[in-house]
Amino acid sequence: MPEQLDVAIVGAGPYGLSVAAHLPERRVRVFGEPMHTWRTRMPPDMLLRSDWEETSLSAPNDAGTIDVWARDAGEHRQNPIPLQTFLRYADWFRSTFVRENDPSNVAELDRAGGVFRLSTAAGEEYDARKVVLAVGVTAFSYAPPPFGEALGDGVSFAIDPQDHGARRGRRVIVVGGGQGGLESAALAARSGAEVELILRSRLHWFAEREPYTPRGPVRQRLYRLAYPVVGYGPPPLNRLALHPELFAFVPKRLRRRLARRILRAGGSPWLRAQVDGKVQITEERTVTTLTRNGGDLLLGLSDGSAREADAVILSTGFRFSLDRLSFLSPAIRDGIAVRDGWPVLDRSFRSSDPGLFFVGYAAEDRFGPISRFVPGTRFTANRVREGLAS
């Protein structure tokens, strides 16, 4: 007989772990390898864009902050934060606040006798009264034309595992000028590849406005008033991003425009030295055609020029789609209302299926850009806890 759960959480990233931490009195199990995307899809020596004070997962009464961990573990505060430091913190958070974690992925989610039936890749079955989907962004990587039909065999997403060492002396084209694209270009160039970065707009470098930049007391205070959090801009829109409930009241069309501006593509200033002079940059161009000639990839650009490459790496954003969640049964998908491509959610992150909640990137359309990032875990976990109690 399947094990009975009050809540099943699909996904063991920052949002899944934070929601679980806020449900200590429930029979809760988190499914998935903890922090899998962070461990396998990001460069091991990556530095986080977020500031130390913005990089805490959420537990009741702020008992699980990165400061608490650092004090208990004897770790030193670092800015920018190395990925490996953040992963050590996340491991501590999970072992301290998350009682049950099955590292197997959920292979199928369906209904069975009034509850949800989860089947894992390991062949185990569980019944749950409620389910929280915390699947992150990886499943929703977007490949614009002409790349949609060309993925594989030399065309991949920047968030996919990359063997840059095998590209020494090879021609690599990176499409997209956000942080992920710039990091991919820098890593490929560091490995000895011939790299070109192609952007549809101008390349934007974020100003040197990191909170750890030396300043006097008055200038630091003014800085914090203008930039209360790193990675969102410009003032004062960045403050709107920090208030997801207020963001939800903005008219829908305006919300999307604001989200695009707040999440403007660009690169952290510390990354610039790894790109300037090492990567060829082509701005205000798009790739219009892609063909194959033996082992070569032939790209046609919007200005009529052409490129040949051995590999193409896409950093072209994300688009939510229920179809990407292949583990959802057709009956489950049919019961989820979608509007303009996004799941319809209430104030507690509950979908039109009253037992099914979406957190993280899937909630961005309603609650704004903070839903993608670690600072959003506190608001989300508290709201979901309230929703599960009703």
Q: Are 31 and 134 in contact (CB under 8 A)?
A: no
pLDDT given for residue 335 in this prediction: 94
Scanning the chain, the segments in alpha helix (DSSP H) are 14-21, 36-40, 66-73, 83-97, 179-190, 217-226, 237-241, 244-247, 252-262, 330-334, 364-367, 377-389
Q: Are 386 and 160 in contact (CB under 8 A)?
A: no
In the block, residue with structure tokens 């300043």 = 215
The whole-angstrom separation of Cα 30 and Cα 160 is 23
The whole-angstrom separation of Cα 46 and Cα 387 is 36
Give the start-to-end residue ranges of the domains of the chain. Answer: 3-140+318-389, 155-205+266-314
In tens, the pLDDT along 316-372 reads: 999 999 999 999 999 999 999 999 999 999 999 999 999 999 999 999 999 998 998
The whole-angstrom separation of Cα 151 and Cα 155 is 5
Q: How confident is the model at residue 242 (pLDDT cuts 50, 70, 90)?
A: confident
Longest dimension (CA), the chain: 64
Per-residue pLDDT averaged across 92-100, rounded? 97
pLDDT given for residue 220 in this prediction: 76
Report whether pLDDT(206) > 70: yes
Bridge partners of 82, per DSSP, are 47
In tens, the pLDDT along 47-71 reads: 887 888 889 999 999 999 999 999 9
Q: How confident is the model at residue 256 (pLDDT cuts 50, 70, 90)?
A: confident
pLDDT given for residue 343 in this prediction: 97
Average pLDDT, whole number, for the chain? 92
3-class secondary-structure state, position 22: coil
Which residues, other chains included, contact 34 with Cβ-Cβ below 8 Å and sequence gap of 6+? 12, 17, 90, 91, 94, 101, 103
Name the superfamily (CATH) of residues 155-205+266-314: FAD/NAD(P)-binding domain (3.50.50.60)
Residue-wise DSSP of 187-237: HHHHTT-EEEEE-SS---BPPS--TTS---HHHHHHHHHH-SSTT--STTH
Report whether pLDDT(226) > 80: no
Report whether pLDDT(199) > 80: yes
The whole-angstrom separation of Cα 241 and Cα 258 is 9
Q: How confident is the model at residue 231 (pLDDT cuts 50, 70, 90)?
A: low
Does 3-140+318-389 match 155-205+266-314 in CATH topology? yes
Report whether pLDDT(209) > 60: no
pLDDT given for residue 24 in this prediction: 96
Please tell me the total number of residues recorded for the chain in this structure.
390
Q: Are 106 and 332 in contact (CB under 8 A)?
A: no
The whole-angstrom separation of Cα 355 and Cα 353 is 6
In tens, the pLDDT along 1-46 reads: 899 999 999 999 999 999 999 999 999 999 999 999 999 988 888 8
Name the superfamily (CATH) of residues 3-140+318-389: FAD/NAD(P)-binding domain (3.50.50.60)
Report whether pLDDT(289) > 90: yes
Q: How confident is the model at residue 210 (pLDDT cuts 50, 70, 90)?
A: low
Report the Cα–Cα distance between both ends of the chain, in Å, rounded: 28
